[in-house]
Amino acid sequence: MTETNAPGPGGAQPASPVIEISGLRKSFGDRPVLKGIDLTVGAGDVVCVIGPSGSGKSTLLRCINLLEQPTAGSIKLLGVEVTDPDADIDRVRTHVGMVFQSFNLFPHKTVMGNLTLAQRRVLGRSKAEARAVALRNLEHVGLADRIDSYPSQLSGGQQQRVAIARALSMDPAMMLFDEPTSALDPELVGDVLAVMRDLAESGMTMMVVTHEMAFAREVGDRVVFMDDGQVIEEGPAARVIGSPETNRARVFLHRVLNPAAIDDSELGQTEPPQPGDPDYVAPAHGTGSHDRRSGPPPGGDGHVPLTVR
């Protein structure tokens, strides 16, 4: 689909890790949000990042392309230390394509205008070259017939595919996705995931923050589970999602994979009674778990108590 693993600014070999993060910390004020992240993403790897809201997933992605300045630690992209104060941030960013939940297209520009602007301004491409690259990427996402449309004339799924084509038009060496389907109506999610699946199969290095567990399992080489600013668990996608090793990952996955069970629990429609129910009696000895549901999550090994009762 697109050129992948382009030689890095330092002339790194494609075989070296595309992303190398070590000891990454980020605080907002005195509040630590990333508490020491170590993560390596090899060329062509698809790493899906999952975890509860507020665990630091977006902050991690934003640190990688320096939309957030890390507080400590190092990030190397294509072998180049981008956390070095002397690093050329703009140059670094041209290697990193980022796709956000909210598309971030320019509303006053057509699809073609959105795709050619940065190519011309940042990469200095001619109008003809930028248009040719744009058209090629729009064909890949199935929207070559919409070059003259404005974002408001497109569905959310189409806008997100335009955003992906726009990122790809910069010939990135890696693509970062932050919940790219979360804002979409359910019927529009599939087209965007299909584009991402094609991109993964083309060999693009990808980090994807997602709640789409089926996608993570099928397309992800690895899954990283984050909680409270730390990587709690990391491994092959099928293993982490199918049989998580840590209690925190099990509880999270159970919640994500069984939303109806949570609803029942929160409505107090399941037995035994839940906190807040008139007939609920608090247990004498809590386990320290946050989990409020009865019944074990999938893949549990039974060693760690998962319920408060």
Is residue 125 a contact point for ligand ATP (CB under 6 A)? no
Is residue 53 a contact point for ligand ATP (CB under 6 A)? yes
Instruction: Using the minimum distance from each CB to ligand ATP, give the nearer residue, 100 or 196.
Output: 100
Residue 106: which of Mg ion, ligand ATP, none does it interact with, CB under 5 to 8 A by kind?
none
Q: What's the CA gap between 12 and 8, in Å, rounded?
A: 5
Residues in Cβ contact with 299 at an 8 Å cutoff, skipping those fewer than 6 apart: 242, 243, 244, 250, 253
User: Residue 174: beta bridge partners?
Assistant: 96, 205
Instruction: Using the minimum distance from each CB to ligand ATP, give the nearer residue, 56 or 297.
Output: 56
- The 8-class DSSP code of residue 181 comes to T
Is residue 59 a contact point for ligand ATP (CB under 6 A)? yes
Residue 212 exposure: Cα atoms within 13 Å on the Cβ side = 25
C-beta of 51: minimal distance to ligand ATP in Å? 6
* Contact yes or no for 164/196 (Cβ under 8 A): yes
C-beta of 128: minimal distance to ligand ATP in Å? 40
Given 2, 58, 83, 159, the residue binding ligand ATP (CB under 6 A): 58
C-beta of 212: minimal distance to ligand ATP in Å? 13
Instruction: Using the minimum distance from each CB to ligand ATP, give the nearer residue, 31 or 285.
Output: 31
Kindly write down the DSSP assignment for every residue of 116-150, as one continuous string. HHHHHHHH---HHHHHHHHHHHHHHTT-GGGTT--
Is residue 106 a contact point for ligand ATP (CB under 6 A)? no
**Residues at the site binding Mg ion, with contacts judged by CB under 5 A:** 58
